[in-house]
């Protein structure tokens, strides 16, 4: 049986035993995600489940309008990734901006207030994970937030499109967190199906992609998310018109197999 199912099937699993099993590779098509609306806040829940290396891994997409704000007080490390518009972030009494397609790493136990930036609406992903602290001899990224501005990332062009390197470093709970943004020209593929020991997620920013997982193709549009379990064969190509662009985020923990 293939280790793959759509997010809609997650909702019907028995919660008692299944929650202790690692999440298999899965795709979350934007058009299929259920929406919860509370005033000026739209929420789309994707993953909230243990993986092979993380005690829990959570992805939620939010949209804010007008003067609405959100306060997050989780004890977990998190990423804030802006899919549309711009955000104003308040952390440790300091305010900063985070623009479209930019991402911020927020350390554990740091309160975070999120508001809409310059426009009337903004949307973003919150990505959180639970894991034990890494070896103290490793130098983590630090204890202060680190923001990566899309407009300042170096774009390295290649025959298939291009790539923006975001980061590759230890964090408070990960031996390594690696992020990059890939741009593919129409009809191009990033690589042939391959496998690796670290888990990965892909967030589609623009266009339409086809992700091949365990020999099965899945077509996904902007806003969609792909979770790839360790050692599952996978490959991605641009399946739409014009360029496509996506974040690839991979991590290594003490539990990652060699």
pLDDT of residue 74: 78
pLDDT of residue 235: 97
Spans in the chain with pLDDT lower than 70: 1-19, 135-139, 258
pLDDT of residue 15: 46
Residue 91 in contact with residue 110, Cβ under 8 Å?
yes
Question: What is the distance between the alpha carbons of residues 154 and 175, in angstroms, rounded to a whole number?
Answer: 25
pLDDT of residue 137: 67
Superfamily of domain 4-252: Jelly Rolls (2.60.120.10)
Sign of CA dihedral 3, 27, 200, 161: positive
């Amino acid at each position: 049986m293939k280790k793959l199912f759509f997010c809609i099937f997650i909702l019907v699993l028995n919660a008692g035993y299944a929650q202790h099993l690692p999440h298999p590779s899965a795709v979350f098509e934007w058009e299929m995600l259920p929406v919860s609306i509370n005033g000026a806040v739209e929420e789309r829940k994707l993953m909230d489940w243990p993986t092979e290396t993380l005690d829990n891994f959570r992805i939620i997409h939010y949209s804010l309008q007008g003067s609405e704000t959100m306060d997050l007080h989780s004890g977990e490390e998190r990423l804030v990734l802006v899919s549309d518009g711009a955000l104003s972030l308040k952390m440790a009494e300091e305010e900063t901006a985070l623009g479209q397609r930019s991402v911020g790493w927020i350390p554990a136990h740091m309160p975070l207030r999120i508001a809409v930036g310059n426009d009337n609406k903004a949307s973003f992903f919150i990505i959180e994970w639970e894991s034990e602290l890494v070896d103290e001899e490793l130098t983590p990224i630090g204890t202060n937030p680190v923001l990566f501005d899309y407009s300042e990332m170096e774009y390295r062009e290649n025959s298939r499109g291009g790539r923006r390197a975001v980061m590759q470093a230890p964090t408070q709970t990960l031996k390594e967190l690696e992020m990059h943004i890939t741009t593919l020209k129409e009809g191009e593929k990033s690589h042939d199906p391959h496998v690796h020991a670290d888990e990965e997620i892909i967030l589609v920013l623009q266009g339409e992609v086809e992700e091949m997982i365990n020999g099965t193709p899945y077509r996904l549009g902007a806003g969609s998310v792909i979770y790839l379990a360790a050692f599952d064969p996978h490959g991605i190509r641009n399946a739409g018109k014009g360029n496509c662009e996506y974040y690839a985020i991979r991590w290594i923990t003490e539990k990652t197999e060699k």
